[in-house]
Structures are given as structure tokens and as C-alpha cells.
């Protein structure tokens, strides 16, 4: 199910810089080839039992990652690099009078300088690699929460073979805020994935840090680790439906840390 009307957006009013999370862009970031396509646990036995009757069927029609394992990190927009669609356009100014013999025209140079300035601003407001992590200790403090919400972007039960869900949580404090966009994908008896995008905003410093972390492990390995914690089999089944209970059990396979300064 796609929740197409749900959007989570963070905007810096002075610069117009914005990062947004929506279902359509998230799904557009799903692999559209068969390079990383998964098979359900019973696929091999199913194929073997139909080897004779389906011998002529070789190709997959419209291959794509049907587990909807998106690599989406948010949609970033910057009005300094393009005219905002919501900004009304003013009528063009009248043409300047023709230059006289004593008049020099510098319009082309001024236009080039203005264009260079715009490009510099656009470059400045882009995420770049950083070594400065999100301050987890500050986020652990019991500061008053001014706003909290959770928004679903899409969800699928993968034809009763597991679950794939993308949700966004937002938590706002007086001096900082944290957004967590999480993909949780579990293909029963095959694999478990969690892909987190955290966006941390320091209001005083006007700095945004984005951390993307991808975790993945085999289904049986995760199940074994849950059993080793002392959980009973029924409790393990419940835990496998909760991303928060298995996130720390999955090894990290990819991590990207970036930041952008919005100071003028």
C-alpha cells in the first residue's frame, strides 16, 4: 500500500533549502533491474516441480526489486539553483535605452557574475562528506519533546512472504531535531534488511547532518541470535516483526555520513 499523500519536509526558511521524504521518490530509488532480485524460500522447489511444464518460460517480465528495498535518502531541493514553482514571477522589466557614445554597457559581465554567485550558493548548500557524527549523547538527554510524529510512506506484505515498510519519525526539541526514515524488509526464511536515514538538525549552528546506514543478515542467522538472547520460539516470531528489536543484531554493510551548513 502506498501512502502517496504523506510527506515529511524540513525547510530552512532563510535559504529555502529543503529535504523531503515522500513515497514516490522512495519507490523511484528501488532497483529496476534483476541484479539484486530476491527469490522466496520455496522458489527453487517450485521451479523444480514445474521444470517440465514451464520449460519454455525463461525470462522474467519487467524485472525489478519486488522487495521494495529502497536506497532513498530524501529529496533535497535548493531554490538558489532553480526558480521555485511556488514563487510568483514578476513581469519582465522594460528594455534599457540604447547606449549613447559616452555610455558603456556591462550587462553581460554582470549577468555572468550573478550566475557565478548563484552557482556558488548552490554548491554551498549541498551535502558533503564529513567525519563529524550525529551527537547521540545529546539525543539521549531527557529534553522536553516539542513535537513528535510518525508517518508511513509505503507498506507491503510481499505476497504473504514477509514485510517491507518505509516509515518516517520526527522528534523536535528546543535546540535540535532528529528525523529517522527507516526501511524494514523481512523476506521469510531468506533475508532481513534495515536501511536507516537519520537527519539531525542543530538549530543554533544551522547545520544538518545526514547519516545513511544499511544493515543486512540472513533470516536464519537473525533467528538464531534472537534465540540466544533467551527468547522462546513464539517470542522470536514476534520479535522478527519488530525492527527495533533486531536492528542491533544486524551487521552494517554500508554507511554514509554527510553534512551541510545553512549559515548565510
How would you write the pLDDT of the chain (264 residues) with one tens digit per residue?
Answer: 999 999 999 999 999 999 999 999 999 999 988 666 666 554 454 444 445 544 444 444 456 788 999 999 999 998 765 434 333 334 445 555 655 544 445 555 555 555 555 566 667 899 999 999 999 999 999 999 999 999 999 999 999 999 999 999 999 999 999 999 999 999 999 999 999 999 999 999 999 999 999 999 999 999 999 999 999 999 999 999 999 999 999 999 999 999 999 997
User: DSSP 3-state assignment of 110?
Assistant: helix
- CA–CA separation, 182 and 38 (whole Å): 20
pLDDT of residue 123: 75
- CA–CA separation, 214 and 193 (whole Å): 8
pLDDT of residue 264: 77
Residue 78 lies in a domain: yes
CA distances to 94, 116, 237 from 84, rounded to whole Å, are 23, 19, 49
- CA–CA separation, 158 and 56 (whole Å): 26
- CA–CA separation, 44 and 49 (whole Å): 9
pLDDT of residue 37: 62
Q: Which helix (H) or strand (E) holds 7?
A: strand 7-12
> Which residue range forms the structural domain that includes residue 142?
7-41+60-83+122-212+253-261
pLDDT of residue 118: 58
pLDDT of residue 105: 52
Residue 19 lies in a domain: yes
Residue 72 lies in a domain: yes
Point out which residues pair with 194 in neighbouring strands.
184, 215
pLDDT of residue 86: 37
Residue 143 lies in a domain: yes
By CB atoms closer than 10 A (0-12, 13-18, 19+), residue 109 is exposed
pLDDT of residue 107: 56
Residue 134 lies in a domain: yes
Residue 64 lies in a domain: yes
Query: CB of 128 within 8 A of CB of 258?
Result: yes
Q: From 219, 231, 197, select the one nearest 10 (Cα to Cα).
A: 197
Residue 241 lies in a domain: no
Can you give the pTM of this predicted structure?
A: 0.79
pLDDT of residue 29: 96
Residue 156 lies in a domain: yes
pLDDT of residue 90: 40
Number of domains in the chain: 1
Amino acid at each position: 500500500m502506498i501512502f502517496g499523500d504523506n510527506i515529511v519536509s524540513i525547510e530552512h526558511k532563510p535559504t529555502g533549502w529543503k529535504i523531503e521524504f515522500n513515497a514516490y521518490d522512495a519507490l523511484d530509488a528501488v532497483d529496476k533491474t534483476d541484479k539484486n532480485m530476491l527469490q522466496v524460500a520455496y522458489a527453487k522447489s517450485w521451479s523444480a516441480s514445474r521444470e517440465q511444464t514451464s520449460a519454455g518460460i525463461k525470462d522474467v517480465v519487467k524485472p525489478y526489486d519486488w522487495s521494495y528495498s529502497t536506497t532513498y535518502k530524501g529529496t533535497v531541493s535548493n531554490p538558489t539553483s532553480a526558480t521555485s514553482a511556488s514563487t510568483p514571477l514578476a513581469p519582465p522589466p522594460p528594455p534599457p535605452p540604447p547606449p549613447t557614445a559616452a555610455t558603456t554597457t556591462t550587462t553581460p559581465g554582470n549577468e555572468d557574475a550573478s550566475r557565478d554567485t548563484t552557482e556558488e550558493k548552490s554548491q554551498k548548500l549541498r551535502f558533503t562528506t564529513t567525519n563529524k557524527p550525529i551527537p547521540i549523547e545529546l539525543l539521549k538527554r531527557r529534553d522536553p519533546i516539542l513535537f513528535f510524529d510518525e508517518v508511513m510512506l509505503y507498506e507491503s506484505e510481499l505476497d504473504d512472504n514477509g514485510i517491507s515498510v518505509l516509515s518516517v519519525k520526527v522528534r523536535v526539541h528546543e535546540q535540535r531535531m532528529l528525523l529517522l526514515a527507516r526501511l524494514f524488509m523481512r523476506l521469510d526464511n531468506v533475508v532481513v534488511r534495515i536501511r536507516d536515514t537519520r537527519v539531525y538538525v542543530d538549530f543554533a549552528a544551522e547545520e544538518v547532518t545526514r547519516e545513511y546506514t544499511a544493515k543486512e543478515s540472513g533470516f536464519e542467522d537473525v533467528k538464531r541470535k534472537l534465540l540466544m538472547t533467551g527468547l522462546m520460539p513464539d517470542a522470536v516470531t514476534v520479535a522478527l516483526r519488530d525492527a527495533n528489536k533486531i536492528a542491533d543484531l544486524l551487521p552494517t554493510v554500508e554507511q554514509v555520513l554527510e553534512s551541510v551548513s545553512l549559515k548565510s
